[in-house]
Amino acid sequence: EVVIEIDIESQHDTTMQLFYIGREEMGFTEGNSLRAKIAVGRNKLYFKIPGYLLQKGLRYDPSAAIGDYKLMKFRIYMFPEM
C-alpha cells in the first residue's frame, strides 16, 4: 500500500482532487478520484491507496477555485506488502 502526503497552502476554502487510473481504465475519471476539503491557510492531507494504482500515474488538481496555491510537499510513501 501507499500513503500520499500533501502539504498545501491555500487562499481559498475549496476542494482538492487526486485522480488515479484503475486496472481496467485508460484515463483519469471522476469515479477514480479522491477529494478532500482544504481551508484557507496551510493544510496537511494524507491518503492511503493500494500500490497498484500508481502503475498508470496520478493526477493532482490542487483546487476547484482559481487562485494561488503553494505546494509545500507532495510525498509518496511505499510500504511492502505483508
Q: Name which of 61, 55, 68, 71 is nearest 30 in CA terms.
A: 61
Evaluate if residue 71 carries a pLDDT over 80. Answer: yes
- On whether the CB atoms of residues 46 and 5 are closer than 8 A, the answer is yes
Q: Where does the pLDDT of residue 47 fall: very low under 50, low under 70, confident under 90, or very high at 90 and above?
A: very high
Work out the percent of the chain whose per-residue pLDDT is above 70: 98
Give the mean pLDDT of 28-48: 94
pTM attached to this predicted model: 0.85
